[in-house]
Amino acid sequence: MQHFKTLSSYLEYLELPRPQHPMFSMYTAMGQGFLPCPKESSPPITNDCYSISFKKFVKGDLTYGRTKYDFTDGALFFIAPRQVLQWENNAVFEQKGFSINFHEDFLIGTELAIAIKKYGFFSYSANEALHLSPREERQIELIIENMHLEYHNNPDSFSKEIIIAHLATLLKYAHRFYERQFINRTDFSNDLLERFNEQLQQYFESGQLQKDGIPAIEQIAGRLSVSQRYLSDTLKRETGKTSTEHLQLYLIDLAKNLLLKPNKTISEVAYDLGFEYPPYFTRLFKKKEGISPSEFREKYKMN
């Protein structure tokens, strides 16, 4: 798989215009005109850059990670460094919107270098992109207009700081709008939790636990056709618990039934549940229940 270490080499591969800055580029077409078109197709590639794009009036599919996404409705989406990108020649990329690409080193020494790691939407799949209301779209446009003006100004000692400030503002608004999207998609969130639990039940009832051990969250997310981070964020927003916490609680519930079998040792219960190290199972059980597995067993006997 081809990997691009610099922004310039990545944009050159895409057959896009050279950037004004060696580590930051932006193209806009929020009003009249269209964004420049990248090459018609590409096998899987990766790079060391962040990308933020708002796409409108697009035909065709873009494969992002493992997911194909139809951009005909328009969406704001985010790509982190080293994400896998691929697109086919049936995609038409003449669109309105904007596209920002910047190398991860562009943020070195700034507060945003740390803050950007906390924005989970850079790890979402493309089908979990942010869909903006007309008012939200206008708010984003205003930020982009100011950033575009600064990008094309004669560079000075303030240029980078101002551009990064606009970036930080853009990401804060995106975070706010994602919260709105989570709220508006309550039915989807409830359905996702239900399907998550169904996947766990199928996994444990099928005997895969004994064969493959405790399932990885990424594996469950893949079966649900969502990214691992989006699954966790959605469940956290809806229930207050992440996907990992839901998995742990599911294991603890199974453990309670197994612990009531007097012929099984604590270690055997741990191994039956897929834990490689019984002490870890004991610590997790005590953390979630407030008492150890042996204390739970004694408490049940007393009742």
Residues of the chain within CATH 1.10.10.60 domain(s) are 187-302
DSSP state of 261: -
Residue 214: phi and psi, rounded to 5, are: -60, 130
What does pLDDT average to over the chain? 82
- Token pair, residue 134, equals 């007309």
Residue 183: pLDDT band (50, 70, 90) is low
Residue located via tokens 């740390």: 114
The tens digit of pLDDT for each residue in 277-291 reads: 899 999 999 998 889
Residues of the chain within CATH 2.60.120.280 domain(s) are 2-184
**Residue whose C-alpha is closest to residue 58's, from 69, 67, 48, 50:** 69
Q: What is the pLDDT of residue 190?
A: 62
- Token pair, residue 116, equals 């950007």
How many percent of the chain have pLDDT more than 90?
26
DSSP helix/strand/coil, 223: helix
Q: Is the pLDDT of residue 91 over 60?
A: no
Q: Is the pLDDT of residue 171 over 90?
A: yes
The CATH number for 187-302, chosen from 3.40.30.10, 1.10.3720.10, 3.40.50.10310, 1.10.10.60, is: 1.10.10.60
Q: Is the pLDDT of residue 261 over 90?
A: no
Q: What is the pLDDT of residue 266?
A: 92
Q: DSSP string covering 13-71, please?
A: HHTPPPPSBTTEEEEEESSSS-PPP--S-EEEEEESEEEEEEEES-BSEEEETTEEEE-
Class of domain 2-184: mainly beta
Q: What is the pLDDT of residue 67?
A: 46
Q: DSSP string covering 154-215, please?
A: PP-TTHHHHHHHHHHHHHHHHHHHHHHHHHHTHHHHHHHHHHHHHHHHHHHHTTHHHHH-SP
**Residue whose C-alpha is closest to residue 169's, from 179, 157, 177:** 177
- Token pair, residue 232, equals 């966790």
Q: What is the pLDDT of residue 66?
A: 42
Q: What angle do CA 5, 8, 13 make, to 5 degrees?
A: 85
Q: What is the pLDDT of residue 154?
A: 87
